Every structure is written in C-alpha cells, then in structure tokens.
Amino acid sequence: MNYLHAIYHFIRHLLQSKKGGHGVHSPFVYQLIKEVIDNTDQYYVFEDIESLRAKLLLTEQEIIVEDLGAGSRTTKKNKRTIRSIAKAALKPKKQAQLLFRLGNHFQPEVAIELGTSFGLSSLYLSQWGEKNKLITIEGCHNIAKVAQLNFQKLNAKNITSVIGEFSQQLPIALKQLDKVDLVYFDGNHTEDATIGYFEQCLPYTTNESIFIFDDIYWSKGMTKAWKKIKINKRVKVTIDLFHFGLVFFRNEQTKEDFTVYH
C-alpha cells in the first residue's frame, strides 16, 4: 500500500463526501445511502461470521502462503500465521457488513468474488439468501482450504470455492455463466490487472449488475484504474466510498459520480 497516497485521498474524501444523502439529487443513490450504506441493522449471521474472524485472529498455526503478488508468475512462498493473515487481509467488519447489505438489497442471483482469503467477505456477500450463487476465487491453496472449512462451518452451500490464478480461473467461471449480477474485485491490486478483470466481466453485465472495487486508493495505479472505470461508456453511476468503489450500469440513469461518506 502507498500510505502517503491513501492518506492524501482519505483527507480529500472526508472533505468532499456527502453525509446522510445531503445534496444527492439522484433518487436511486439517495435511497441506496439511506437504506443500505447508512443502515446499521444487524443480522444473526453477522455474529456467526464475526465469531469465525475472532477464531482466526487467535490462530497461531502457520501455513505456507503462495504470495501471488501483483499477478506475478514467479510465486514467492513464505510461512505465516493464520492470525497475521487475518489481521492484514480481511475486510474490517463495518465494510464487510456493507457487502451483506448490498447483496440483501439488490439480491444478485449470480456473483463472483476475486480474492477469497479466509472467506469472510464471501460469507457476507452470499449469506443473505440460499438460492443465490457465489463463485469465489483464491490463488493460494492453503488460504483457500481455511476458507472452505469456514464455509462448511456456516453450512454455506451456495458458495463455490475455486482455487487458482484469477487470470486462469475468471475466464473459466465466466464461460459457465450467461450473466453476472455482482462482482467483488478484491485481489491483485494493480492498474492493469484491475482493468483486465473489469473488461473481462463487462460483457456479462445486465442493466442491474453491480461491480464493487476494493481499495481504490491503495496505490496510484489503483486510483488510475478507478478513474478509467468511471469514464467507461458502459458505466453510469459510480459511488466512491473510499474503501470501495461501487459501479452501476443502469441505462435509465444519467452518468454521474458520487462521493459518499461511509
């Protein structure tokens, strides 16, 4: 992470972002802020998922991690404790619970997640329902195995865990689908890779699809990727939440970009 870049943009975000829907004239975005982004309702499954997080944060067991880096072909391997990975890689509770609320609100039938890690965001993204389907892709075998155990613990039968490089597994996953309703991009944070995944998923979108980009201010490259995505002519509404960039394709909307406090 480029900390200077992230801090600069965080301060800008605090100064520019709209709170509580004030000054937002789009009814679609206003409703989203009120009902989803600012919503603080708790669901039973939140406790179950957070208790998995608490266990991971106490697990001193070491695993061999294949560091896929920036999509590099030369995989670095090193030993890390489950605890340290959980601390560094998982989306914090507040942001992860927004993924649940977005799912619950838009009810995507078919979703893809790039970057499973230990599966907490996968659970938040999918456990608002039973008939919806989530395909989640993770390149590190030992990390994915921990996620698969977590899915079993919560009996999350609607998640398909795929192990492999995004560049190989994303096209395979997409080929099996007619459309994709939601994609959560949370791994391999480089400009080229992010744009590449975005362009691969684009032909599978419908009017109602949502893309969620993680860490859009993680580096200059990620911020450049976010800017390119915003100006893509297929993209209509974008919402910058600092930690996430939300993308909507709704043809009925005029092209507009919002900066919203979360």
Ligand X SMILES: C[S@@+](CC[C@H](N)C(=O)[O-])C[C@H]1O[C@@H](n2cnc3c(N)ncnc32)[C@H](O)[C@@H]1O
Among 187, 238, 245, 246, binds ligand X (CB under 6 A): 187
Q: Is 49 in the site for ligand X (CB under 6 A)?
A: no
Question: Which range of residues in 15-23, 36-44, 112-120, 242-250 is near ligand X by CB under 6 A?
Answer: 112-120
Interface residue with ligand X, options 100, 128, 166, 198 (CB under 6 A):
166
3-class SS letters over 165-229: CHHHHHHHHHHCCCCCCEEEECCCCCHHHHHHHHHHHHHHCCCCCEEEEECCCCCHHHHHHHHHH
Which residue's Cβ lies closest to ligand X? 139
Select from 17-25, 43-51, 136-144, 201-209 the region that touches ligand X (CB under 6 A): 136-144
Residue of 140, 137, 199 lying closest to 166 (CA atoms):
137
Q: Which is nearer to ligand X, 26 or 167 (CB)?
A: 167
Stretch that binds ligand X, among 3-11, 37-45, 180-188, 218-226 (CB under 6 A): 180-188
- Helix or strand or coil: residue 52? helix
Binders of ligand X in range 67-106 (CB under 6 A)? 68, 71, 89-91
CA distances from 43 to 6, 97, 99, 104, 188 (A): 31, 9, 13, 11, 31
Measured distance CA(100)–CA(254) in Å, rounded? 27
Member of 33, 97, 98, 115 binding ligand X (CB under 6 A): 115
Residues forming beta bridges with residue 131, ordered by sequence position: none
Q: Binding residues for ligand X, per CB under 6 A?
A: 68, 71, 89-91, 115, 117, 120-121, 138-140, 143, 165-166, 186-188
